[in-house]
Amino acid sequence: AHVINVALVGNPNCGKTSLFNVASGAKEHVGNYSGVTVDAKSGHFDYKGYRFNIVDLPGTYSLASYSPEELYVRKYLRDATPDVIINVVVASNLERNLYLTTELIDMDRSMVIALNMYDELEKRGDRLDYKLLGSMIGVPVVPTVSRTGQGLNELFDTVIDVYEGRDEDVRHVHVNLGEDIERGVTAVKDLIKAEPDVSPRFSPRFIAIKLLEDDAEVIRLVESLPGSAQIMEATRAEQQRIELMRKEDASSAIADEKYGFIAGALAETLVKGDQDRNNPT
Ligand code: GDP
Ligand code: MG
Ligand code: K
């Protein structure tokens, strides 16, 4: 049978472990606890002739390299290279949850979004055109309620489609960071692409953005490359240029652009129920 390696990635408390339990029949602890150890649980199940190996990764708000959870998830995505990432997001808190999504998009990996706690979104009376959102970001979006298992067949059907390369919503879209920053990303990315030995598992775009953000781990990675002096010099120059244009450091400018992109995408796809109620016209 075909084996599909799947990793669950998402913010803390977005319902990853619930999804993992329902899908794999495991009984991992679910709830608002903060674990002492940072690790991953793995399980497996068979569906439609495929063997799914599924890994429940620690919750993270971003793929920066500040916390042990972030470093763990990053290392996992780089070294274990799951075939398909399931990015679990909280449907009623997309402004925050989609930040991590933008970083996964930078990584340029096969991915499906589980729009989890969809029951909460419906209860609030919010309406989201999730198909349009998916086509805007180039990632298929499937509503789920991982506590009950609702939507999980559709989710894993979509994982199969993405794995087999037949989902029409999958496009290589990237989150456009605006002219000032994109120029810097391209300059650094082109130097990284020219390196023979750069970690093939982090995309050149992800590495370039992380360099511009002063990411300590990615700087160490790049420092081991033959062309590191030139890459770091270009990074510093582009950071200074961006700072001059934007009057803020490059990493803040990148975060602002990402949150702006998310806000723009949600403005086109999300109608909040309580908004309608609070602002009668
Ligand atoms: P994790 O931190 O991402 O592993 O999240 P958990 O699976 O531990 O879930 C966090 C909390 O959200 C628990 O209380 C779950 O019962 C609850 N939860 C998970 N999925 C859903 C869902 O789809 N809808 C609702 N309403 N609650 C959910
Ligand atoms: Mg969990
Ligand atoms: K939890």
Task: Tell me the ligand closest to 15's alpha carbon.
Answer: 1
ipTM attached to this prediction: 0.97
27 assigned binding-site residue: no
Res 279: pLDDT: 55
Percentage of residues in the chain having pLDDT higher than 90? 79
Pairing mode of beta strands 2-10, 41-47: unpaired
Res 267: pLDDT: 97
| Average pLDDT across the chain, whole number | 91
Please provide residue 33's backbone torsions phi and psi, each rounded to the nearest 5 degrees. -110, 155
pLDDT in tens, 7-65: 999 999 999 999 999 999 887 777 655 555 678 899 999 999 999 999 999 999 999 98
Distance CA 239, CA 257 (A): 15
Contact 167, 140 (CB under 8 A): yes
pLDDT in tens, 103-162: 999 999 999 999 999 999 999 999 999 999 999 999 999 999 999 999 999 999 999 999
Q: What is the DSSP string of 1-66?
A: -EEEEEEEEESTTSSHHHHHHHHH------SS---SS---EEEEEEETTEEEEEEEPPP-S-S-SS
119 assigned binding-site residue: yes
Ligand 3 mean position, distance from CA 17 (Å): 7
pLDDT in tens, 56-91: 999 999 999 889 999 999 999 999 889 999 999 999
Res 202: pLDDT: 87
Distance CA 89, CA 86 (A): 9
Identify the residue whose C-alpha is closest to ligand 1 atom 2.
13
Ligand 2 mean position, distance from CA 11 (Å): 9
Task: Tell me the ligand closest to 10's alpha carbon.
Answer: 1
pTM of the complete model = 0.94
Indicate whether residue 90 lines ligand 1 (CB < 6 A). no
Contact 86, 8 (CB under 8 A): yes
Distance CA 41, CA 57 (A): 7
pLDDT in tens, 145-200: 999 999 999 999 999 999 999 876 667 788 999 999 999 999 999 999 988 776 66
Q: What residue type is assigned to position 183 of the chain?
A: R
Residues 6+ apart with CB under 8 A from 11: 59, 60, 61, 89, 90, 96, 97, 100
